[in-house]
Amino acid sequence: MSERPVTKRGRPGYDQRAILEVAVAAFNEFGYDATSMGVLATRLFLSKSAIYHHFSSKEEVLELALDEALDGLEGVLRDENARVGPAIDRLAWVLRGAVEVLTSRLPYVTLLLRVRGNTVVERTALARRRAFDRAVSALVTEARDEGSLRSDIDPRIVTRLLFGMVNSIVEWYRPEGPEDAETLADDVLAVALDGLRVPAGN
């Protein structure tokens, strides 16, 4: 290998990743449809052609942004901790992992949660999100069948309420705020698995 540094495409200071971050912030602020490549160029102090140097289309920007969220969530499911052991422990792992992905990739997950399926890219992302939800729902059912989760609530409702709680974090979580992500994951698991009530007699 030669020692010549890898040539970066585009202007110094703006690699593909940096453009992606600015684009996702704009999509979340103004909506994907309302954010043109021209708007992005203005925000980045770049020409449109400089952006097209990195991305073939606005839809490719969206695709990479949604991948960032979905790859994170799917990575949690692929981990050995999600595949081996009692279902209740695997479910706890997945919930904790989802909170971790959500807080560490906040703008990307925010974008994912707003996708409504208007384009092929969006529909593909929605299908991957539904597959993730189904995998968690299957874990809930397994944990119920092994006797570690209560069986008086429909597993689909359980999954929806769990994701309602987890996904709502994007509405208020700020990385610079007082709550660190790990404590927040502990809190979610405590509420979801053990509930808020102090048992009578304690």
7/26 Cα distance (integer angstroms): 28
Q: Give the dihedral sign, CA 99/101/107/108.
A: negative
Specify the residue, 18 or 192, whose C-beta has the smaller distance to its own copies.
192
Name the one residue in this structure whose structure tokens are 């979905």. Answer: 70
What type of residue is 138?
A
Nearest CB to its own copies, comparing residues 20 and 170: 170
Using the contact rule CB under 8 A, the part of the chain among 11-19, 37-45, 75-83, 169-177 near its own copies is 169-177
Quick check: 61 and 22 in contact, CB under 8 A?
A: no
Rounded CA separation 111/17 (Å): 16
- Under the binding rule (CB under 8 A), the answer on residue 195 touching its own copies is yes
Q: Binding of its own copies at residue 64 (CB under 8 A)?
A: no
168 binds its own copies (CB under 8 A): yes
Contact status: 80 vs its own copies (CB under 8 A): no
Separation CA 140–CA 159 (nearest Å):
7
Residues in contact with its own copies, counted by CB under 8 A, come to a total of 35
Give me the count of residues in the chain: 202
Q: How far is the CB of 122 from its own copies (least distance, A)?
A: 16
- Would you tell me which residues interact with its own copies (CB under 8 A)? 88, 147-150, 152-154, 157-158, 160-169, 171-172, 179, 184, 187-188, 190-198
